[in-house]
Amino acid sequence: MHFLDQAKIYVRSGTGGPGAVSFRREKYIEYGGPDGGDGGKGGDIVFEAVPGLNTLIDFRYTQHFRAQRGKGGAGQNKTGAGGDDLVIKVPVGTQILSEDKEHVLLDFTKAGERKIFMRGGDGGRGNLSYKSSTNRAPRQHGTGWPGDEAWVWLRLKLLADAGLVGLPNAGKSTFINAVTNAKAKVGAYAFTTTRPQLGVVRHKSREFVLADIPGLIEGAADGAGIGDRFLGHIERCQVLLHLVDAEGTDPAAAYRVVRDELEAYGAGLTDKVEIVALNKADLLDDELTAALGAELSAASGAEVFPISGATGQGVDAVLDRLIEAIEPPEQLNEDDDGDTLEWSPV
C-alpha cells in the first residue's frame, strides 16, 4: 500500500428538504385547510478515526464527498425523511485543515473518535406552519436550508511514542529493523528512507511505538533534500532518539545540523526529551569511540550512548533509556492530611 500523508478533498453537507403545500380534502370533514408537512434535515458530514489505517491514499482517488439531502414534506402534516449522514473514515492521527492550511479544524488522536464537521441544512417549512388567523389558506412553503461546503486538507501525523532523527545514512533504518517488526529499506546511499516507518518495540515486557522519518540535511527547512515535510510525524512523540554516524567526518557538526533543522521547523521539537546515540560504533576502536563520544556529548550537553544497530551493541541500554523517558514517573498518593497511602503510576 502506498503511503500518503496529505490529501485535499471537497465536502458538502446535505440540503434540507422542501416543505409541502397541501390541503385537506377528506369526506365528512366540512372545512379543509392546509396540512403540508416540513421537509427533512440534510445529512451531516462526519469524520471518524478508525484503527487499522495508516495512510490517506484512498483520498487520492475519491476527492468529493456529499451528504444526502433531506426528503420533501407531504400532506397530512408528514415530515420528510432526513438525509443520511456521510461518515468519512480517517486514520488515527489525522488533522482536518482549512483550505489555506492555516487553521486546524479537527484533530483525531484516539481510535473511535467521531466528530461532526458540517451540519446538514434544516428542512423547509410546510404550508401548515404558515397558517394564521388572517392567512387561513397559505400557499407559501420553505425550500429548505442549504448545506455547507468547503475544500479542506487532510494531514496525517503518525502516532508514536518515540521518533528517530538523524542525517541520511545515520543507520536509522537498520536500527528500527533491529528493534521492531518494521521492514524498512536499507541501502548505502542517501535518502534510502523516503516515507515514515512505524514499528513496535518489545523490550523487557514493555511495548512502545517507534517512528523513523527520512533523513534531514542542512537546509531541509527550506526544502533541501526531501525537506522537513515528514517532521510532522514526530510532533506527537514524547522523546526523540538522535542517531549520529560514528563514521562521519564530524559527528558534532552532524548533530548540530539536525538540531538546527528541528529548531527551524518549530512545533516544540527541540523541547522534547532527546537521547543521543553514536551509531556504528562497532566499526571503531574503543579509544576513538570514547573520543567521538566525548566530543558529541560536549556539543549536545547530554549523555551519549555508543551503539551499533547492526550488531546490537549498546542497544539494550538505549531502549532502557527510551522506556524511562516514555513512561510517566510514579508519584505518591497522599490523603488530605498528607499521609502517604501508596505508590501508583499516574
- Segment 117-127, tens digit of pLDDT: 999 999 999 99
pLDDT reported for residue 326: 85
Which H or E element spans position 203? strand 197-203
Which H or E element spans position 265? helix 251-265
173 among annotated binding-site residues: yes
Radius of gyration of the chain (CA): 30
DSSP secondary structure string for all residues of 278-313:
EE-GGGS-HHHHHHHHHHHHHHHTS-EEE--TTT-T
304, 297 contact by CB (below 8 A): yes
Reply yes or no on whether the pLDDT at 344 is more than 60: no
Q: How far apart are CA 127 and CA 129, in angstroms?
A: 5
Q: How far apart are CA 116 and CA 285, in angstroms?
A: 60
Question: Grid cell 522519518 — which residue?
Answer: 213
167 among annotated binding-site residues: yes
pLDDT reported for residue 219: 64
pLDDT reported for residue 21: 95
User: Please, which pLDDT band fits residue 140 given cuts at 50, 70 and 90?
Assistant: very high
215 among annotated binding-site residues: yes
150 among annotated binding-site residues: no
DSSP secondary structure string for all residues of 177-189:
HHHSS------SS
According to the per-residue pLDDT averaged within each range, which of 114-128, 308-322, 330-344 is highest? 114-128
- Average of per-residue pLDDT across 321-332: 70
181 among annotated binding-site residues: no
pLDDT reported for residue 180: 82
The total of other beta-carbon atoms located within 10 Å of residue 260's CB is 16
Least confident of 18-27, 301-310, 337-346: 337-346
138 among annotated binding-site residues: no
What residue ranges do the domains of the chain occupy?
Answer: 6-156, 162-329
282 among annotated binding-site residues: yes
| Second-level CATH architecture of 6-156 | Distorted Sandwich (2.70)
82 among annotated binding-site residues: no
Task: Give 200 or 42, the one with higher predicted confidence.
Answer: 42
Reply yes or no on whether the pLDDT at 81 is more than 90: yes
Dihedral angle computed from the Cα positions of residues 114, 237, 254 and 171, in that order, rounded to the nearest 10 degrees: -90
Question: Grid cell 556504528 — which residue?
Answer: 280
User: Please, which pLDDT band fits residue 193 given cuts at 50, 70 and 90?
Assistant: low
Q: Which residues pair with 276 in a beta bridge?
A: 242, 304
User: Please, which pLDDT band fits residue 182 given cuts at 50, 70 and 90?
Assistant: low
According to the per-residue pLDDT averaged within each range, which of 75-79, 197-201, 288-292 is highest? 75-79
Q: Which residues contact 202 (CB under 8 A, 6 or more apart)?
A: none
Instruction: Please tell me the chain's helix, strand, coil percentages from 3-state DSSP, rounded to the nearest 5.
Output: 20, 25, 50
Q: How far apart are CA 98 and CA 276, in angstroms?
A: 37
Reply yes or no on whether the pLDDT at 227 is more than 70: no
Q: How far apart are CA 241 and CA 247, in angstroms?
A: 18
- pTM of the entire structure? 0.72
280 among annotated binding-site residues: yes
293 among annotated binding-site residues: no
pLDDT reported for residue 233: 76
Between β-strands 94-97 and 149-156, what pairing exists: parallel, antiparallel or unpaired?
antiparallel
Task: Give 50 or 309, the one with higher predicted confidence.
Answer: 50
Q: How far apart are CA 31 and CA 47, in angstroms?
A: 50
DSSP 78: B
- Average of per-residue pLDDT across 130-144: 92
pLDDT reported for residue 335: 45
127 among annotated binding-site residues: no
Task: Give 75 or 286, the one with higher predicted confidence.
Answer: 75
Average pLDDT over the chain, rounded to an integer:
83
Q: How far apart are CA 172 and CA 165, in angstroms?
A: 8
- Within 13 Å of residue 219, how many CA atoms lie on the same side as its CB? 3
73 among annotated binding-site residues: no
309 among annotated binding-site residues: yes
- Segment 243-272, tens digit of pLDDT: 888 887 788 888 888 888 888 878 888 888
User: Please, which pLDDT band fits residue 183 given cuts at 50, 70 and 90?
Assistant: low
pLDDT reported for residue 225: 54
pLDDT reported for residue 187: 54
171 among annotated binding-site residues: yes
Domain topology for 162-329 = Rossmann fold (3.40.50)
- Segment 264-287, tens digit of pLDDT: 878 888 888 888 888 888 888 888
User: Please, which pLDDT band fits residue 343 given cuts at 50, 70 and 90?
Assistant: very low
